[in-house]
Amino acid sequence: MRINLITYFILITLLVAGCSYSSGPVSTAYQNVTAHYNAYFIANELMNEIEQSVYDNYQWNYNKVLPIYVPIDSNDAKSLEAQIEDCIEKASIAIQRHPNSRWEDDSYILVGKARYYSLEFADAIETFKFVNKHSENDDARHAALIELIKSFVDFNEINNAIAVSDYLKKEKLNNKNKKELSMVRAYLFQKRKDLDQMVQHLVAAEELMTKYSDKARIDFIIGQVYQQLGFEAEAYNYYESCLKNNPVYELAFYTKLNMAQVTQVTSSGDIKRTQKYFKKLLKDTKNTEYKDKIYYEMANFEVKQGNLDQAIAYYKESVKSSVKNKRQKAYSYLKLGQIYYDSLKNFVLAQNYYDSTVSTMPRDEENFEKIKQRQEILNDFVKQIVTIQTNDSLVSLSQLPQDSLLALATAVATEQHEKEAAKKKKEAKRASQQSTVFDQQGGDLIGANLAPGATWYFYNTTAVGKGVTEFKRIWGSRPLEDNWRRSLKAGGEITTGAEGEALAKKKPSAETEGDDAIQTMVDEMLASVPSSQEEINKLLAQVEEAHYNLGNIYDFKLDENANAIETFETLIARFPQTEYKAEVLYQLYLLYKGSNIELATLKSDELKRDFPESIYAKLVDNPNYREESKAATEQLKMVYTKAYKLYKSKDYQKSKYLLDSAFNLYPENSFSDNIALLNVLNMGELEGQFKYQYELNNFIKTYPESELIPYAQKLVKTSEDYQINLYNSAKARFVEYFKQKHYLVVVYPNNDQLTQQIPLEVEEFIKAKNFGLTTGNLILNQDHALVLINEFPAKGSAEKFLTMLNAELSLKDLHKGEKIYSFVITEDNFDIFYQTKDVNAYLNFFEKHYPQ
């Protein structure tokens, strides 16, 4: 017996030793057994732990369609790093020590999945491709390709995922791979937001599932998709199927809630049953941590029934019940904001709730940026509202007698102080509870943020009005005088009215701590009330701008046409000379255009009458003006670049020719001032200092709104300084050569009245005669200004026009007592005259050589 045992041991030893080097049946069986029950088994258990850990750590958001596969992020990958590396190591042992075993392919797939969970998608993809290429086992290849689709989807290589999916359609798969392929196809369509295709593949996968917990989760997702697609009866059936598969409590709870949402409501009895069902869920102690979600769904149900007041109450209860679930709290805030924004059009309250939504909502919500954008719009909106209400209230308060204002501020401060003291006592008692803020409609804004400064009394126009009314009820209308409380002020004796005595008794003692706080509040209130016209004007300017901003917010961001019209009309009515008038008239024209063509015509006529040269007037006649102007601007910029290069290279004539051609093609354009000024620089080089100064001044008159005006003014000053230094103005010596261009000059006293009247009168005279002449205005010196009319080809034509001007316009008669001189002058002599500033010297020369 002993010999047999020894022999048996030797045979087994030889057999095992030979297995490492043989590919025979015995060796293969050995490799399969040891690979499966040693390294592969451990690696597979580690992978199960990794997947379970990812599933357990994920925060499920039942307000949205659940993900088919649990998303993983860098935090997951980092926390599982040790387990992932251990899994890869064990799977690698199974591959290296047991080659040719039936578990080799499965070990490679484990390595690929481990790379996937460590977010090394490229390595995972290569591993799965390797299995597909080298494996002789079709089931293993198919399993690897299914994992490859999933990796491609998460690596955002959707086209590759579709190609592999299409390939597998033609393959014959076992039931497990059929199920997994349907799941991964559903995942692909979920990523592409194709809910129809997604639900079809989920239904196919669900039919192949045998594990109840898996079926329950997929049934819930199918129900969610059908509910979102509007097939509520189908959704109800799948929710019911989910419950039959014995889901975990949390999934069962949300399934029951969703069933209540899709229950067919055809009568008041159905509504009451659903409401009763929700209340039953609230009473169940197992649902304590889900109360916020129950109230949220109760609110959604009431919204569907059109009961907004009840829905608002339930959303607020949801917020109060949310302790740990910030995401759910954010959803409730958002729903409140949407109701006040979309349904009730109360943008002030909507802003409060959007503020709370943004401060609470996790940043990974896919619509977070859109929500934040709306919050910013509403913040801007409320800012304008508060500015208007606050400033108007302060201006109104500034009209009160000083002692009346002091009495009002004291009464308000006392009331505020008492309220704050009472509030502190309450807060001490309920320090652990959430505070509420009283909204403008008498409701509670749970946790919502008030508009900046809205807690201060004078920011609330309604409260101010009540305060003024109450003051008059007690004290009557009091004149602005000292000791206004006295009802009798004879002989230095003071007698107060009964109500005045009651108020005096009510006032806290100056020795109390509260009195100091009240006095501080009074001082702050009074300091904010304007005390001069300058301060009032500043506040009103802010009101004007706020109305303009508010109108634009209503028009462009809130799409509230009626409110935009009302705001813009108020702006023009209150501030008829507003700098925004041209733009506002155009906005009103567009707003009225679709609903009231008569009012639209009135606005466009007013715009074209009062602002004929504005871009807005041009847009009325040509809606494409802006686009055409933009295209023209691009053309002018190209011309300007070429012309400027010519100017820098001193080829002034070519530069001027290029600019003149461009200006003829595009006479009115936002870039025209740049073209015109460069042309003036060319003229300065080609035609002398006088022409240069004349055209610079003409540019300033023609383009008063141009950004180039400061630069042009600087050029004028530089040119004048140069000429003053260049010429000796002691004695003028005029040239007796008259066969050249002539100008006509009107010299008059340099004062504000004449500098506005005379140039206009001369210009209107020329226009009426239709001579095609141009005028320019120049300051000659401190005492004299002049109008220059140019240009006449010869002496005779200039003299004829002078005779006509003196006879028909007669400026001396129009402005009796003023020293006004009209004369003609050659181009050369004008340069001398303009530099010497010697009016009398030229008048002597003129009388001698131009006898009238």
Which one is predicted more confidently, 410 or 5? Answer: 410
The pLDDT mean for the chain works out to 81
Q: Identify whether residues 224 and 110 lie together within a single domain.
A: yes
Could you tell me if residue 476 is inside a domain? no
Q: Identify whether residues 103 and 171 lie together within a single domain.
A: yes
Residue-level pLDDT at 132 = 93
Query: Among residues 755, 740, 767, 762, which one has the least CA distance to residue 831?
Result: 740
Residue-level pLDDT at 101 = 62
Could you tell me if residue 599 is inside a domain? yes
Q: Identify whether residues 151 and 105 lie together within a single domain.
A: yes
**Coil, strand or helix: which one is 788?**
strand
Phi, psi of 790 (to 5 degrees): -135, 155
Tokens read off for 83: 């387990």
Under a CB-based contact definition with an 8 Å cutoff, are residues 692 and 682 in contact? no
The pLDDT tens digits of the residues spanning 645-655 come to 888 888 888 88
Q: Per-residue pLDDT averaged across 104-131, rounded? A: 92
Could you tell me if residue 338 is inside a domain? no
Cβ neighbours of residue 379 under 8 Å, at least 6 residues apart? 351, 355
Task: Name the least confident of 277-281, 495-499, 700-704.
Answer: 495-499
User: What one-character-per-residue DSSP string does 28-76 give?
Assistant: HHHHHHHHIIIIIHHHHHHHHHHHHHHHHHS---TTSPPPSS----HHH
Containing structural domain, residue 113: 27-248
The percent of residues above 70 in pLDDT, for the chain, comes to 81
Q: Per-residue pLDDT averaged across 135-148, rounded? A: 93
Q: Which of the four pLDDT bands, split at 50, 70 and 90, describes residue 156? A: very high
Could you tell me if residue 517 is inside a domain? no
Q: Identify whether residues 718 and 767 lie together within a single domain.
A: no
User: What one-character-per-residue DSSP string does 736-771 give?
Assistant: ---SS-EEEEEEEE--HHHHHHHHHHHHHHHHHHT-
What is the residue type of 71?
P
Q: Which of the four pLDDT bands, split at 50, 70 and 90, describes residue 443? A: very low
Q: Per-residue pLDDT averaged across 105-110, rounded? A: 90
**Where does residue 366 rank: exposed (0-12), middle (13-18), buried (19+ CB within 10 A)?**
exposed
Task: Name the least confident of 82-96, 125-139, 667-681.
Answer: 667-681
Cα distance between residue 362 and residue 327, in whole Å? 6
Q: Identify whether residues 210 and 233 lie together within a single domain.
A: yes
Residue-level pLDDT at 91 = 87
The pLDDT tens digits of the residues spanning 222-269 come to 999 999 999 999 999 999 999 999 999 999 999 998 988 888 765 677
Residue-level pLDDT at 725 = 57
Q: Identify whether residues 722 and 767 lie together within a single domain.
A: no
Cα distance between residue 117 and residue 236, in whole Å? 35
Residue-level pLDDT at 334 = 93
Total domains in the chain come to: 4
The pLDDT tens digits of the residues spanning 768-813 come to 888 788 888 888 888 899 999 988 989 999 999 999 998 888 888 8
Q: Identify whether residues 584 and 661 lie together within a single domain.
A: no
Under a CB-based contact definition with an 8 Å cutoff, are residues 766 and 773 in contact? yes
Q: Per-residue pLDDT averaged across 590-615, rounded? A: 90
Could you tell me if residue 784 is inside a domain? yes
Could you tell me if residue 285 is inside a domain? no
Could you tell me the CATH number of the domain that includes residue 584? 1.25.40.10
Residue-level pLDDT at 37 = 47
Under a CB-based contact definition with an 8 Å cutoff, are residues 39 and 47 in contact? no
Under a CB-based contact definition with an 8 Å cutoff, are residues 235 and 223 in contact? yes
Could you tell me if residue 685 is inside a domain? yes
Q: Per-residue pLDDT averaged across 33-41, rounded? A: 60
State which of 248, 269, 286 marks the end of a domain: 248
Q: Identify whether residues 597 and 665 lie together within a single domain.
A: no
Query: Among residues 68, 71, 52, which one has the least CA distance to residue 204?
Result: 68
Q: Are strands 486-488 and 495-496 parallel, antiparallel or unpaired?
A: antiparallel
Cβ neighbours of residue 679 under 8 Å, at least 6 residues apart? 656, 659, 660, 663, 695
Q: Identify whether residues 661 and 703 lie together within a single domain.
A: yes
Q: Identify whether residues 831 and 688 lie together within a single domain.
A: no
Neighbours of 430 (CB within 10 A): 9
State which of 700, 726, 752 marks the end of a domain: 726
Residue-level pLDDT at 836 = 81
Cβ neighbours of residue 618 under 8 Å, at least 6 residues apart? 625, 668
Q: Per-residue pLDDT averaged across 115-131, rounded? A: 94
Could you tell me if residue 358 is inside a domain? no
Q: Identify whether residues 39 and 168 lie together within a single domain.
A: yes
Residue-level pLDDT at 506 = 52
Q: Which of the four pLDDT bands, split at 50, 70 and 90, describes residue 497? A: very low
Which one is predicted more confidently, 7 or 569? Answer: 569
Which one is predicted more confidently, 623 or 123? Answer: 123
Tokens read off for 378: 């509403």
Question: Residue 791: is the preceding peptide bond cis (ω within 30°)?
Answer: yes
The CB-side HSE value for 396 (13 A sphere, CA atoms) comes to 15
Task: Name the least confident of 429-433, 447-451, 845-849.
Answer: 447-451
The percent of residues above 90 in pLDDT, for the chain, comes to 38
Q: Which of the four pLDDT bands, split at 50, 70 and 90, describes residue 183? A: very high
Residue-level pLDDT at 402 = 82
Q: Identify whether residues 126 and 237 lie together within a single domain.
A: yes
State which of 591, 623, 655 marks the end of a domain: 623
- Whether the predicted pLDDT of 625 surpasses 90: no
Q: Are strands 784-792 and 774-779 parallel, antiparallel or unpaired?
A: antiparallel
Could you tell me the CATH number of the domain that includes residue 784? 3.30.70
Cβ neighbours of residue 331 under 8 Å, at least 6 residues apart? 63, 296
Under a CB-based contact definition with an 8 Å cutoff, are residues 824 and 795 in contact? yes
3-state SS, 651-687, equals CHHHHHHHHHHHHHHCCCCCCHHHHHHHHHHHHHHHH
- Whether the predicted pLDDT of 445 surpasses 60: no
